[in-house]
Amino acid sequence: MAVSAVESIAWTGDRLTVLDQRRVPDETVFLELRTIDGVIEAIASLAVRGANVLGSAGAFGYVLGVRAGLLPEDAAARVIAARPTAVNLRVAVQLAHAAQLRGEDPLDVALALLAEDRDACATIGQLGRQELAGASRLLTHCNTGALATTGRGTALGIVYAKAEAGEPVEVVATETRPLRQGARLTVWELQEAGIPVTLIVDAAAAAALTAGQVDAVVVGADRIAANGDTANKIGTLALAIAAKHAGIPFYVAATWNAIDPSTPDGAAIPIELRGAAEVIGTGDGAPAGDTAVWNPAFDVTPASLITGIVTERGVLHAPFGPAIAGLAR
């Protein structure tokens, strides 16, 4: 099966063109971003989302900022602050900024990141396919596919690699409240690719895992600390706990730039808190607008609950600290 990737982000001469992920799957609308503010707004509003695409978009946002005459330090700081948890954003902007300081064109860095991410995803797909050779029923969370990367994805990259190799694969996709990236994006991507997918509400995941409906859980990452503790979309921790209880392997798939050696453990990972409106919603049945809400966008899964971390440099196993240090460059 040939699986083509959706192009979620592209640089076209003087602007960044991104698919507005808030409107998928209902509409295919591309945003033309010509300013650093436009890129920051797209990142903060989740028009552009997913750790890997955040990195690429951030680097282009930085380029637009310095081209418009902003102080390079200010441009970098402003883009990095757009979303705090995915370290890919910081890494990509800092790479572009370092090129600028060396007198090189940061656009070259941003363009190179697109290609590197695509290649890294392809390698993760193959390594994950081998690691998960015996697992055909995969549960995943949020969206880690072609929309979230410039390739075919991290966790979903493994699914696509299996499908392309002609191996049996089917996906249980969690809805991923409150913004429903699983229901809107992952389900759409997999249906477009002709891969069987079953949608469940987040609260049904523990039941699916304990009922024997799943061979392995595979999720992405927004930041992996030096000891392997992993921040990912809110709800990931509950999946890891349920998988442990059910005796099901729990894998993280991420490109190497999601690993942050400067963050010692999960407690040091900044967790983005988002607004109440995402949870309260609108229309019939919505609670009062002043209802108290806690809306963390991510949670941290301790390394002790993780079976393996699939990266383009290899599959890491416990103890993750030495495994990460051993492959660091």
What residues make contact with ligand MRU under the rule CB under 6 A?
49-52, 86, 142, 144, 148-149, 154, 181, 220-222, 232-233, 297
Query: Which residue number, 107 or 171, has a Cβ lying nearer to ligand MRU?
Result: 171
State in angstroms the smallest separation of the CB of 78 from ligand MRU.
Answer: 19
CA-closest candidate to residue 315, choices 225, 252, 222, 245: 252
Alpha helices in the chain, H assignment, sequence order: 36-44, 51-67, 72-80, 87-101, 106-131, 155-164, 181, 187-193, 205-210, 236-246, 277-280, 320-327
Q: What is the DSSP letter of 217?
A: E
User: SS3 sequence, 101-134?
Assistant: HCCCCHHHHHHHHHHHHHHHHHHHHHHHHHHCCC
Catalytically annotated residue among 14, 20, 37, 222: 222
User: What number of other Cβ atoms are within 10 A of residue 165's Cβ?
Assistant: 12
Query: Which residue number, 153 or 249, has a Cβ lying nearer to ligand MRU?
Result: 153
State in angstroms the smallest separation of the CB of 8 from ligand MRU.
Answer: 11
What tokens does 323 get? 């495994």
Q: Is 222 a catalytic residue?
A: yes
State in angstroms the smallest separation of the CB of 72 from ligand MRU.
Answer: 26
Query: Which residue number, 100 or 251, has a Cβ lying nearer to ligand MRU?
Result: 251
Angle in degrees, CA 262, 266, 267, rounded to 5 = 100
Q: Which residue in the shown chain puts its C-beta closest to ligand MRU?
A: 220
Query: Which residue number, 113 or 297, has a Cβ lying nearer to ligand MRU?
Result: 297
State in angstroms the smallest separation of the CB of 68 from ligand MRU.
Answer: 26
- Give CA–CA dist 97/105, Å, rounded: 9
Q: What is the DSSP letter of 281?
A: -
State in angstroms the smallest separation of the CB of 13 from ligand MRU.
Answer: 27
Residue with tokens 């979903």: 156
Query: Which residue number, 181 or 311, has a Cβ lying nearer to ligand MRU?
Result: 181
Cite the active site residues. 222
